[in-house]
Amino acid sequence: MKIINEVVEIDGIDKEILRSLMSDARKPILEIARKVGISGAAIHQRLRKLEESGLIAGSKFMLNPKVLGYSTMAFIGIYLDKAMRNPEAVNQLKEIPEVLECHYTTGNWSILIKMLCKDNEHLMYLLNQKVQTIEGVSRTETFISLNQQIDRQIQL
């Protein structure tokens, strides 16, 4: 691994390690070591360096939201009356647990959020009682996802 102009360059061994863990983060290190042909200790060292470089941002378990009763995914474009209201609006959006992502965007909207809801009724409640009551929100535009067709990370 090298860092050139703040960009991390990784070698083939690092790529193999990362691909293995990206496909199954619980894959045993020794299994990866046997596949790659280096020691488990060397894998641990490389992973530590990749974490320190910032390339690996962490690991997490992924929950299946449908099992918890959440079946409606919506993308909501938020129009603010003034751009200066953005920081406070974002702080209030952070208080809504169903908001999974929040993006400051170019184009028509000031903010684009991704929200997971139990159903359309729940979505309507969150829009009317939480999002649209934030000071500075002049209006919203909502898109309901019918089916997520691609879900992936950047490829190595």
Quick one: pLDDT at residue 137? 97
> What is residue 79's predicted lDDT score, i.e. its pLDDT?
97
Domain enclosing residue 118, as ranges: 65-145
Sign of CA dihedral 15, 18, 22, 28: positive
In a domain, 78, yes or no: yes
141 strand-pairing partners? 77
Cα distances from 38 to residues 3, 12, 19, 46, in angstroms, run: 22, 12, 16, 11
**Domain containing residue 35: CATH number:** 1.10.10.10
Whether residue 155 lies inside any domain: the answer is no
Q: Structure pTM? A: 0.84
Same domain, 43 and 80: no
pLDDT averaged per 10 residues in sequence order, the chain, 156 residues:
79 94 92 94 94 88 93 98 95 98 95 98 98 97 97 88
How far is 43 from 45, CA to CA, in rounded Å?
5
pLDDT for 133 equals 97
**What's the total number of domains in the chain?**
2
Q: What is the pLDDT of residue 38?
A: 95
